[in-house]
Structure 1
Amino acid sequence: MFEASAKLPPGPNAWQLLWSISQLKNKPHVAFHNLAKIYGPLFSMRLGGRLLVVASSPATAKAILKTHDRVFSGRFLPSICYAIPSTLQSYKMRSTSKECNGIFEYVNCIVADLFSTLREVESKGEARKEKVLMEMVDYVVEKEGEVVDLDDVFKTTLCNIFANVVASRNLLRYGSCGNGDMAKDLVTEIGKMMATPGLVDLFPVLRRVDFWRKREGRFCNGRDLPSHQVLNIHDNRPWHGLLIAGDSGLVTTRWLMAELMRNQDTLSRGHSWCHLALENCVLNDYIIPKDTIVVVNAWAIQLDPENWKDATSFKPDRFLGSNIDFRGNHFEFIPFSSGRRMCSGYQIGFRNVQLVVACLIHYFDWSLPDGENPENLDMAEVLHVGGLTREKPLFMIPKLREKYVL
């Protein structure tokens, strides 16, 4: 065991944190980025009864996600996870499993075999394009000249792609007011709750008296919804994993369409679950005690001008001819994380985003409602379990290109 006086990474004290408390609550990734400028790429802080360590450089990210992968493969679970025993059961087995134990490895192999086998993804690609993507195009054609909620389009399309790969059926309907929308709303609320730490997350001793978090858990589990709604949602419980699994792709697609519309500054918006040190570890000559919450601030890494030229400019062509890819081997760009906790479905997620956005910009010209200038498009962001997503829904008006007019 390390002594209590063991050397921790530098960081702000409690009084200094008071100056950043508002930003830590609303935009923690920005607060961490600003603190890293002061204390370096690896710093620590005390949040209530928890020790938090933040990594903000490719070198420290590599040390955590690759060099000491096993030690930091633990997952810090927000208290809301313990209040949702059934609704997210299948999801918790893999993505929010606290440790990489036998069950985790078994489920990980199944998920990897299902979603990450390139040959399987390619074999399903044509069917997805013909069935799901053309359904999306047909829906948008019907809405030509009207304001379209692209968030609904993205969510429905991505979830239906997953559902068709697994069971050759659609899960959601575009613009429906039935069970599909109810499930989408429920997952959205769960995502917000899981991305927002509760008091018990900072002070674990309060777990037994955390009535508010338990109330939220009952809502997510359907106990506070009308009985007929509970029945309808729980009948679709096996699909909840697909609804949440598509969140990362949904976040990426939202930002990509918004930036294509705005065509100016862009940010690489990365977010991952917090890691948890399973045992004491020495990292960059600093001591990381067991049960420390460890965050790799991918947002800061992918915004660092030392890693990227014109990091805040929208330049998709920067990747043309570049050896840098997204498969977790280049730590200046880790949209799917890396190591044992890397997203198993990264290949199908990447292709889904390509297919959806390519179809939308290939078949349609897009404009903003009320003649709004694209340069003034609101790019405010909010933290969600799937990443940093747009704070406001994305509404656009489609116009079918002349050569595709039926």
Structure 2
Amino acid sequence: MAWMWTILILLLLAYLLQLQPWKRTKNNNKRLPPGPRGFPLFGSLHLLGKLPHRDLHELAKQYGHIMHIRLGQIPTIVVSSSEAAELFLKTHDLVFASRPPHQAAKHLFYNQIDMAFSGYSSYWRDLRKICAMELLSNHKINSFGAMRKEEVGLLMEFVRGSAIYGVAVNLSTRIWSLSYDMSCRMVFGKKFSEKVFDDDRGFMAVALEGMHLLAVPNLADYIPPIARFDVQGLTKRLKKVSKAFDEFFEKIIDEHIQSKDEDRTKDVVDVMLGFLGSYNSEYRMERTNIKAVILDLLLASIDATATAIEWALSELIKNQDIMQKVQKELENTFGMERIVEESDLESLEYLNMVVKETLRLHPAGPLLLPHAAMEDCTINGFHIPKNARIIVNAWAIGRDPNEWNDAEKFMPERFLGGDVDVRGHDFKLIPFGSGRRICPGMQLGLTVLRLVVAQLVHCFDWELPNGMSPDELDMKEDFGIAIPRAKHLLAIPTYRLHK
């Protein structure tokens, strides 16, 4: 049947090509950045494979750090250097502060009224204030400290049990489960391990499908006229997932409204309900807005955090000399009688360098969520047309040999004595983005990443199963927004502490 679909798609695209002949536009006489020519209708989509951050990196070597590439009908500017990123995300930040249309986000986030995919507007600015002041402030993050301690403690107990029997732990699945449980407790106030949907799927299975659909290339994003034909079947899947989320969130919101427990820590749903339909508040939210925001926070916190922890542990297990340095710092600072606490994290200089190096080589989003030009702009003499999509390749910037010595090598010492940070001020290291659209959950993600890695490394030694040497550890990437490992990380723990 695959050949039939191929023929149908080709016939459809040929028909659309006849309907929309390519004509010269007013921008043709202006100097766009260099880039591949591409084909009519398809543009240069054929040049992108399963790992587009790597493909765009290779193209940038040929065409430059500000590159124009037409993806379908969409003019796209790819940014691949720190200097170029600073121009787009700082110097001209306001021009590029919006988001382009996104088919999956339209379905999952109620026509893109969440914070991540919403266009730049007064509504988005209100959402940003709510997140900064109410949902992801230091005070709110700290209020969930006891929950994080409990959930990480459960992980440590499981790993310690495995260490007793000398069996390998699937760190990938355990870390994803931990991230999922913590995110659910933060957003909903409880975990969901049971089947919660009519088709007997658990919430995590549906969440993972939602994340996959957000990442999978959708031809309708690049050739908008074909959206109504759903040639890939993605719209049907998106509608099904969106309906499941919507019905589930309605039940959650009703439960929170009816709850009489005033003593529990307020979760994200509680906070958002405080703005529900209030004309007296600066922010007026309806149920639809609340559902979009809670799904946004939930998916982002599960995916990015779990992937970063997974890569940090992978690099430490592969580089045992660096693992030993982290363990030595922990041992010298806290001894071997107690476990590392969240309040200890700021004092761990070498661990924090390991985190920076992990995010340099494996940024949470290798391609930052695309920006959209709100008006024509000229950058470095190049014309950037209104409505162009801007893709910042944070993965390529983190491996730029003009910025980093031995750029492909995992070497935390490169940050020793320096002031390079990951918080959006140093454009050669922007795993969370920068400017107005910087990731608002950055501090929460860093806290969880450092805490989990510190405890797993302080409490346990790790070796690969079946006599595998660290050099043999497969470090290939898989497809996704956050680019997880292609193969699960399995390792055998040995308990280290004296308690």
* Cα distance in 1, alignment partners of residues 239 and 202 from structure 2: 16
Q: Is the 8 A contact 1:129 1:355 kept in 2?
A: no
Equivalent position of 2:417 in the other structure = 321
Residue 107 in structure 1 maps to residue 131 in structure 2:
no
How far apart, CA to CA, are the structure 2 residues paired with 1:280 and 1:335? 27
Which position in structure 2 is the counterpart of 1:221?
Answer: 242
Cα distance change on mapping 1:348 and 1:60 into 2, 3 Å: same
Task: Choose the corresponding residue for 1:142, options 161, 167, 180.
Answer: 161
Residue 389 of structure 1 is matched in structure 2 by 484
Q: How many residues align?
A: 389
Measured on the aligned residues, the alpha-carbon RMSD in Å equals: 3.1
**Cα distance change of structure 1 residues 151 and 89 upon mapping to structure 2, 3 Å threshold:** farther
Change (3 A) 1:182 1:151: farther
Give the aligned residue type for 2:155.
M
Q: Which residue of 2 aligns with 1:258?
A: 314
Bigger proportion of residues as strand:
1
Cα distance 1:89–1:359, how it changes in 2: closer, same or farther (>3 A)? farther
Once the two structures are superposed, the pairs formed by residues 113-132 of structure 1 within 5 Å of their partners are: 113-122=133-142, 124-125=144-145, 127-132=146-151
1:337-348 alignment, distance < 5 Å: 337-348=433-444
Q: 1:300 to 1:130 in 2, by over 3 A?
A: closer
Which SS does the other structure have where 2:383 is aligned?
strand
Q: Distance in 1 between matches of 2:487 and 2:72?
A: 31
Q: Which of 71, 92, 95 is matched with 2:95 structurally? A: 71
Counterpart Cα distance in 2 of 1:102 and 1:202: 27
Q: Which residue of 2 aligns with 1:226?
A: none
CA distance in 2, matches of 1:363, 1:20: 49
Query: CA contact under 8 A between 1:302 and 1:332: conserved in structure 2?
Result: yes
Q: What's 2:63 paired with?
A: 39
CA distance in 2, matches of 1:331, 1:135: 37
Q: What code does the residue aligned with 1:252 have?
A: A
User: What secondary structure does 2:479 align onto?
Assistant: strand
Query: Gapped runs of 5+ residues in structure 2?
Result: 1-24, 254-290, 321-356
CA deviation after TM superposition for structure 1 residue 159, in Å: 3.7
How far apart, CA to CA, are the structure 2 residues paired with 1:140 and 1:189?
A: 28
Q: Judge conservation of contact 1:301–1:332 (CA < 8 Å) in 2.
A: yes
Structure 1's 363 and 94: CA in aligned 2 closer, same or farther, altered over 3 A? Answer: same
Q: Distance in 1 between matches of 2:464 and 2:377?
A: 51
Q: d(CA) in 2 for partners of 1:96 and 1:120? A: 23
Moved more, 140-149 or 101-110: 140-149
Alpha-carbon distance change, 248 to 369 in structure 1, aligned in 2, over 3 angstroms: same
Q: Does structure 2 retain, via aligned residues, the 8 Å contact 1:53–1:294?
A: yes
The answer on whether the counterparts of 2:75 and 2:388 sit within 8 Å (CA) in structure 1 is yes
The answer to whether the aligner puts 1:188 opposite 2:208 as a matched pair is yes
Equivalent residues of 1:151, 1:394 under 8 A apart: yes
Superposed, 1:159-178 pairs within 5 Å as: 159-165=180-186, 169-172=189-192, 178=195
TM-score with structure 1 setting the length: 0.86
Matched letter for residue 161 of structure 2: E
For 1:231 and 1:35, the matched residues in 2 are separated by 44
Matched-pair contact (CA < 8 Å) for 2:422–2:429: yes
Report matched runs for 1:55-70 at 5 Å. Answer: 55-70=79-94
Of 335-344 and 265-274, deviating more is: 265-274
Preserved contact between residue 37 and residue 43 of structure 2 (Cα < 8 Å): no
- Within 5 Å, give how 1:344-363 maps onto structure 2: 344-363=440-459
Verify: 1:245 aligned to 2:340, yes or no. no
Q: 3-state DSSP class of the match of 2:226?
A: helix
Deviations 1:192-218 (A, max 9, x none): 222122121121111222251221213
Deviations 1:300-323, CA, capped at 9 Å, x for gaps: 110011111121111123223211
8 A Cα contact 1:79 1:213, kept in partner: no
Q: What does the per-residue CA deviation read over 1:68-87, in whole Å, with 9 as the maximum and x for residues that have no partner?
A: 11111111243222333xxx
1:356-371 paired onto structure 2 within 5 Å: 356-371=452-467
Which structure 1 segments of 5+ residues have no match? Answer: 224-228
Structure 1 pair 19–294 and aligned structure 2 pair: CA distance change class (3 A): closer
Q: Deviation per CA, 1:222-268, whole angstroms, max 9, x where unpaired?
A: 56xxxxx9976874586644431212111111111111111189724
**Are the equivalent residues in 1 in contact too, given 2:67–2:78 (CA < 8 A)?**
yes
In structure 2, the CA distance between the partners of 1:67 and 1:231, relative to structure 1 (3 Å rule), is closer
- Counterparts of 1:162 and 1:317 in 2: how far apart (Å)? 32
State how far apart, in whole Å, the 1-side matches of 2:225 and 2:115 are: 26
Distance in 1 (CA, whole Å) between partners of 2:194 and 2:131 is: 31
Q: Offset at 1:402?
A: 5.5
Secondary structure of the residue that 2:414 maps to in structure 1?
helix
Relative to structure 1, the CA distance from residue 230 to residue 51 in structure 2 (aligned partners, 3 Å threshold; closer, same or farther) is closer
Distance 1:230 1:81 in 2: 14
CA-CA distance at 1:272 after TM superposition: 1.3
What is the alpha-carbon distance in structure 2 between the residues aligned to residue 379 and residue 19 of structure 1? 32
